[in-house]
């Protein structure tokens, strides 16, 4: 690969977290913004694993995998688009890889702006685009150890 | 030989994460035909990415030896 490719990857932010996103990590992310005094509004989306029942079987975890190189490029593009579209101070996107149990967090989108109006729209825009355009794959694991591949609706 | 990566359910269909395929020529349409012959991809809800960009299965262009090719099932993040 060329050095340009590596430069691009290095400029990209860390998105993937091994296993569940811990509530303490979310708290820490909020705390880091207390020094940024031009921010007047934060909005947070947290995706949590639901214990769905399918044909009488209880789902108890999702194992995520991703095409990480393409995901990094796509997330970079989504982030640039969101900064162009909304008046944001900063934005953070985190997603789990590996196993996340029901009740745990797998997706964390954090948007900050000077005023509140745009943070709602920006959060929804980011969540929708990540779900539909970033190559992440979820395998739903049942208590019986059977599995099925997750489909986004 | 072209190196192909498989993800999600496609890695289970192919029984590997990655493999090398020999094509009769280096066109994208030959790649799609070879993948269909081996894994019946026309019947699967998969997309093919070349160098991390999704390409339409009916597009035609030439591939390079070190192109990064990936077969991707529907995305289900979140």
Tally of structural domains, chain A = 1
Rounded CA gap, A42 and A110, in Å? 7
CA distance B50 to chain A (A): 10
Residue A86, domain CATH: 3.90.1170.40
ipTM: 0.94
Domain boundaries, chain B: 2-72
In tens digits, chain B (78 residues) has pLDDT values of 899 999 999 999 999 999 999 898 999 999 999 999 999 999 999 999 999 999 999 999 999 999 999 999 999 999
User: CATH says B2-72 is which class?
Assistant: alpha beta
Would you call B8 and A137 a contact, using CB atoms and an 8 Å cutoff?
yes
Partner residue facing A135 (CB), from B68, B72, B78? B72
Rounded CA gap, A151 and A153, in Å? 6
Question: What residues make up the domain containing A10?
Answer: 3-149
Q: State which H helix or E strand residue A44 sits in.
A: strand A41-48
């Amino acid at each position: 690969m060329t050095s340009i490719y590596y430069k691009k990857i290095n400029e990209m932010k860390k998105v993937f977290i091994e296993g569940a996103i811990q509530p303490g990590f979310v708290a820490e992310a909020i705390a880091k913004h207390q020094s940024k005094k031009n921010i007047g509004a934060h909005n947070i989306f947290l995706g949590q694993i639901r214990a769905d029942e399918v044909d009488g079987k209880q789902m108890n975890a999702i194992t995520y995998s991703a095409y990480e190189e393409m995901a990094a490029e796509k997330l970079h593009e989504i982030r640039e688009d969101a900064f162009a579209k909304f008046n944001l101070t900063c934005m953070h996107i985190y997603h789990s890889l590996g196993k996340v149990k029901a009740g745990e967090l797998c997706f964390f989108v954090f948007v900050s702006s000077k005023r509140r109006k745009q943070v709602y729209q920006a959060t929804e825009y980011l969540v929708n685009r990540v779900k539909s355009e970033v190559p992440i794959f979820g395998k739903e694991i049942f208590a019986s150890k059977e599995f099925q591949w997750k489909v986004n609706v | 030989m072209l190196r192909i990566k498989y993800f999600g359910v496609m890695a289970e269909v192919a029984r590997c994460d990655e493999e090398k395929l020999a094509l009769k020529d280096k066109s994208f349409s030959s790649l799609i035909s070879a993948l269909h012959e081996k894994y019946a991809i026309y019947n699967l809800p998969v997309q093919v990415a070349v160098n991390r960009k999704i390409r339409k299965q009916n597009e035609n262009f030439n591939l390079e030896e070190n192109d990064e090719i990936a077969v991707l099932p529907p995305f289900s993040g979140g």
